[in-house]
């Protein structure tokens, strides 16, 4: 093995082991930041030693043993300092020797509970949402600061600082390394689910930048969601989240064109949808429903995505059911974005004029001002009604509002297509794109 091969092998081991390593250490040292530093020390030791010695047979155990030795060294050194300060006598010293924590026993326990503690700690409400996202990707996803920075188009020092601050906040606020109980648990779990979906969504429809999708981020979120579903298999909300992500991810390959341009739901080649992921998504949705979670926000969105997934063609979609599901969603998670998507489904079920009436009612309110999908949807409905010139102006307005370069291009193309249609008087425009049902919403 060359040094580069070994480095790549170490990266792979790190990806598999880091979360469990940090979680196990955090239980012992009761400080997530300290635990992560210890794990990092072990990684550095591996990078130094493995190119010479080769990758050990049980690399995870090696990393854990190394980190554990560091922990004991640190603990002894701290005790030493303490002792000097307090001028403790021989008797106390003996007692302290006995008090060395039984790390081996602690580490042999089931690591699942520790992972769950780590999940809840990384998504703790004392942290800002962006800090939770960064810390979750770092501690649970095993991503480097550089990878997180690249994924969110933020500079590396910014992310590094965000993580340092988050760890400091957790220590300062004395956030216990534990799984919350009772009423608190539900709210805290929702926060975890939200963080994971936020990561997924940033990968699925990047809010800014040149790429329409960042698939690696979707995969990281999916992996975190699947891990969480294994940790708390009794929680319907988590299965709803996994269902939604699996089904949305099933369209990844179909929703980007050869030069990176977005392809909207109606124009997607459904043969490119990933049926393995659809099947997994439908199974997860069944599980959420069986656990009594059919009316959860994620399960409802997953059910909407499932309506699309089951339809061989756009025309075969059960739009009436989708309208009903959006109505349910609007009840439990009222949001103008949900209303907008509902209007789109309404138009598909009952005609463009019916949809436009709903959209116009929304447009008169202030909540969607500046949201590019509002004029985009309006433009689409106007075009279907033959009001091409108004449609073109709406697409242009939508283009001026989006921060995503690929999306802007698409919207300008659709505006241009309206012009062609005007010239040709009645010729069908080349794109029959429309807003992707649930996919347009980032704010369920």
Q: Which chain residues interact with another protein by CB under 8 A? A: 5, 8-9, 11-13, 15-16, 59, 112, 216, 219, 222-227, 230-231, 253-254, 258, 263, 267-272, 276, 280, 312-313, 430-432
> Of 200, 255, 192, 198, which Cα lies nearest the Cα of 222?
200
Closest CB 12 distance from another protein, rounded Å? 4
When the beta carbons of 74 and 254 are compared against another protein, the nearer one is: 254
Handedness of CA 345, 242, 272, 374 (dihedral sign): positive
When the beta carbons of 312 and 364 are compared against another protein, the nearer one is: 312
> Of 393, 36, 439, 413, which Cα lies nearest the Cα of 259?
413
> Of 254, 231, 253, which Cα lies nearest the Cα of 242?
231
When the beta carbons of 10 and 438 are compared against another protein, the nearer one is: 10
Query: What are the φ and ψ backbone dihedral angles of 74, each rounded to 5 degrees?
Result: -60, -45
420: number of Cβ within 10 Å: 13
Closest CB 283 distance from another protein, rounded Å? 11
When the beta carbons of 224 and 348 are compared against another protein, the nearer one is: 224
> Of 129, 136, 176, 188, which Cα lies nearest the Cα of 31?
176
Closest CB 225 distance from another protein, rounded Å? 7
**What are the tokens at 180?**
């919350």
Closest CB 350 distance from another protein, rounded Å? 25
When the beta carbons of 74 and 231 are compared against another protein, the nearer one is: 231
Closest CB 164 distance from another protein, rounded Å? 25
Strand partners, 70: none
Q: Return all residues near 94 (Cβ < 8 A) that are at least 6 apart.
A: none
Query: What are the φ and ψ backbone dihedral angles of 413, each rounded to 5 degrees?
Result: -60, -40
Closest CB 61 distance from another protein, rounded Å? 12
When the beta carbons of 135 and 222 are compared against another protein, the nearer one is: 222
Give the C-alpha distances (Å, rounded to integers) separating 78 from 26, 83, 112, 118, 383: 17, 8, 29, 25, 72
Strand partners, 45: none
Q: Cα separation of 407 and 405, whole Å?
A: 5
Closest CB 331 distance from another protein, rounded Å? 32
When the beta carbons of 288 and 362 are compared against another protein, the nearer one is: 288
Closest CB 228 distance from another protein, rounded Å? 8
When the beta carbons of 1 and 187 are compared against another protein, the nearer one is: 1
When the beta carbons of 260 and 365 are compared against another protein, the nearer one is: 260
- Site of tokens 């390394």: 177
Q: Cα separation of 107 and 27, whole Å?
A: 9
Closest CB 11 distance from another protein, rounded Å? 7
User: What is the enclosing helix (H) or strand (E) of 391?
Assistant: helix 388-401
**What are the tokens at 338?**
């949900």
- Site of tokens 């403790």: 88
Q: Cα separation of 412 and 256, whole Å?
A: 17
When the beta carbons of 390 and 413 are compared against another protein, the nearer one is: 413
């Amino acid at each position: 093995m060359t040094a580069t091969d070994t480095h790549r092998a170490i990266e792979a081991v790190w990806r598999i082991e880091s979360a469990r390593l940090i979680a196990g250490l955090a239980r012992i040292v009761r400080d997530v930041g300290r635990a992560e530093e210890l794990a990092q020390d072990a990684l550095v030791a591996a990078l130094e030693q493995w190119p010479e010695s080769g990758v050990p047979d049980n690399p995870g155990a090696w990393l854990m043993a190394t980190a554990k030795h560091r922990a004991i060294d640190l603990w002894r050194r701290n005790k030493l300092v303490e002792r000097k300060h307090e001028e403790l006598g021989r008797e106390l010293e003996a007692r302290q020797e006995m008090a060395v924590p039984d790390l081996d026993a602690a580490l042999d326990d089931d690591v699942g509970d520790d992972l769950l503690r780590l999940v809840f700690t990384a998504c703790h409400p004392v942290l800002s949402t962006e800090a939770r996202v960064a810390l979750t990707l770092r501690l649970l996803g095993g991503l480097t600061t550089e990878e997180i920075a690249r994924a969110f188009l933020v500079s590396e020092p910014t992310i590094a600082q965000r993580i340092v601050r988050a760890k400091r906040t957790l220590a300062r606020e004395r956030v216990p390394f534990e799984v919350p109980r009772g009423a608190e648990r539900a709210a805290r779990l929702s926060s975890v689910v939200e963080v994971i979906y936020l990561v997924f969504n940033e990968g699925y429809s990047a809010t800014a930048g040149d790429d329409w999708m960042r698939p690696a981020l979707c995969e990281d979120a999916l992996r975190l969601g699947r891990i969480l579903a294994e940790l708390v298999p009794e929680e319907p909300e988590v299965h709803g989240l996994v269902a939604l992500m699996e089904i949305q991810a099933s369209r990844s390959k179909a929703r980007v064109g050869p030069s990176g341009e977005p392809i909207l739901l109606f124009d997607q080649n459904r043969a490119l949808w990933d049926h393995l992921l659809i099947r997994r998504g439908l199974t997860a949705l069944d599980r959420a429903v069986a656990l009594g979670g059919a009316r959860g926000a994620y399960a409802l969105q997953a059910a909407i995505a499932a309506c699309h997934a089951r339809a061989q063609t756009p025309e075969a979609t059960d739009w009436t059911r989708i309208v009903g599901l959006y109505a349910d969603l609007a009840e439990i998670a009222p949001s103008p974005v949900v209303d907008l998507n509902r209007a789109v489904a309404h138009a598909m079920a009952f005609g463009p004029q019916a949809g436009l009436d709903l959209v116009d009612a929304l447009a008169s309110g202030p909540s969607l001002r500046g949201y590019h999908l509002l004029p985009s949807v309006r433009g689409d409905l106007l075009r279907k009604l033959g009001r091409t010139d108004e449609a073109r102006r709406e697409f242009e307005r939508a283009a001026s509002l989006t921060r995503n370069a690929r999306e802007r291009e698409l919207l300008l193309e659709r505006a241009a297509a309206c012009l062609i249609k005007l010239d040709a008087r009645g010729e069908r425009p080349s794109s029959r794109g429309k807003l992707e049902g649930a996919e347009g919403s980032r704010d369920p």
